[in-house]
Amino acid sequence: MAARERCAAAWPIATIGLAMAYFQFPITFSAVGPRQRLERTEDCIKALASNPKVRRVCVIFRHGEKEVSDEDMQKDDQPDEGFWKRQHDAALTQRGLQEAEAFGAKLSDILVSEGQMQCVGLLTSPVPRCHATMAAVHTALKGQNCLEVESSSAWMNGTHMPGQEEEAAEAFWARGWRPVVDDLAAGKQILGFRPLEECVQTLRDTCDLSGRTRRSRSEETELFLVCTHDVYLYALAAWFSKGRRPKMPDFLEQAVWWVEGDTEHFYYDGEEFSSEF
C-alpha cells in the first residue's frame, strides 16, 4: 500500500473500549494544534472539491474535548458501572464546544468558497459528547439547516463481535485498546473482536464512499461528516497504513476518506494512503 503526502452493544460495555486510552495514555494535545489540523484538512478538501473523479468526500473527526473529573483521573482500580456511566455521559468542555464550532465554521467557509461541494450527511456515534460535537458543527454550517444528524452504533462499537462484548471489554481492560487494534491491523484474531477488515467495511458502508446513492441533485462533490472516537480514527489509520503505528488522535483530530476511480484513499496526520477499491 503506497503512502504519499498530499492534501465499534450496550453502553457500559462499549464505553470500556472507548475509554481505554483514558487510562493508557495521557490526554494531551500534540505539537500540531487544532488550527494546523484544520488547515491540513481544508487543503485536502479543496483539492478534492474540484476533482470530477471524486463523488463523495467523507471527513471523519474525533469528538471535542470532554470533561473528566480529578477523581476519575486518579482512579486506577477496576472501574465500576458508575464510572463507565460518567465516562459515557461526559459533556464537552467549553473549549471543546468552541473548537467544534470553529471547525464547523471552517467547513462552511470551504463549502461557500469552493462552490463545487455540498454537505449531504451528518453521522455520529450515539455517545452524547459525539452528538454535542456534531450539533456544534451543524450549527456553524451555514445554509445546511435542512440536514438532520443521524446516529450509527458502528462508530461506537463496530470492532466488537456481536454476543462477545464482555470478552472484548476484558481484552481492552487487560491490554489497553491500542495494542488490541494494532494486533487486529496485523491480521491477528482476538476473542471478542471482528477482523479489522470487516469493521472497516462496515464503516465504509455507513458512508457510501463510492456515492452510488447520491443525496444531492446536482453533480457537485458530496461532503459527508462523521463524528466518532479515537478508537475508530486510530483503527482506520492502522488499517490503511499497514505495518505502521499511527499517531494517537487528539480531540477533533480529522481524517479524510474518499474513492477516486478504482482507488480508495485515506488522509490522516499529513499523509495519504491508498489502495485498490
What's the angle, vertex CA 275, arms to CA 48 and CA 265, rounded to 5?
Answer: 20
Nearest to 239 by CA among 192, 202, 187, 189: 187
What's the angle, vertex CA 126, arms to CA 122 and CA 130, rounded to 5?
Answer: 65
Q: What is the pLDDT of residue 34?
A: 57
What's the angle, vertex CA 271, arms to CA 269 and CA 273, rounded to 5?
Answer: 120
Written as nine digits, the cell of 194 is 471482528
pTM value is 0.84
DSSP at 250? P
Written as nine digits, the cell of 50 is 474540484
DSSP at 52? T
Q: What is the pLDDT of residue 38?
A: 66
Q: What is the pLDDT of residue 97?
A: 95
Query: What is the distance between the alpha carbons of residues 223 and 257, in angstroms, rounded to a whole number?
Result: 10
Q: Do residues 185 and 159 lie in contact, with contact meaning Cβ atoms separated by under 8 Å?
A: no
Domains of the chain, CATH where assigned: 3-276 (3.40.50.1240)
pLDDT in tens, the chain (277 residues): 443 334 533 333 344 344 333 333 333 334 455 566 667 788 899 899 888 889 899 999 999 999 865 455 445 455 566 666 777 788 999 999 999 999 999 999 888 887 778 899 999 999 999 999 999 999 998 766 678 999 999 999 899 898 998 888 888 878 888 999 999 999 999 999 999 999 999 999 999 887 666 656 567 889 999 999 999 999 999 999 987 889 999 999 999 999 998 899 999 998 999 988 7
Q: What is the pLDDT of residue 10?
A: 34
